Amino acid sequence: MLNQRIIDLFDQFTHGVISRQEFMKRLTILAGSTVGAMAILPKLELDFSSADTTADAKNEIETSYIEYDSNGKK
């Protein structure tokens, strides 16, 4: 499990609060070395392909067509 300070730092980077250079500088300090920081990086990478998706979400969305006349009335 990653230290919460590292997770918070990564959050700042991904939301544009700090630059990549600043992120790496602070991560190196938290990890204790450049080698440590480089070892942590793969654990921080975002993997959208493994994001949780559910079939139930499709059933929660209701769709329909609405027709309007040229005056903008239903």
Query: Does the pLDDT value for residue 56 go beyond 80?
Result: no
Q: What is the largest CA-CA distance in the chain?
A: 68
- How does pLDDT run across 8-50, given as a tens digit for each residue? 999 999 999 999 999 999 999 999 999 999 999 999 887 666 6
Q: Which two tokens stand for residue 51?
A: 């994001």
For position 17, what pLDDT does the model report? 95
Distance CA(69)–CA(71), nearest Å, equals 5
For position 12, what pLDDT does the model report? 96
For position 46, what pLDDT does the model report? 73
Query: Does the pLDDT value for residue 53 go beyond 70?
Result: no
Distance CA(52)–CA(13), nearest Å, equals 23
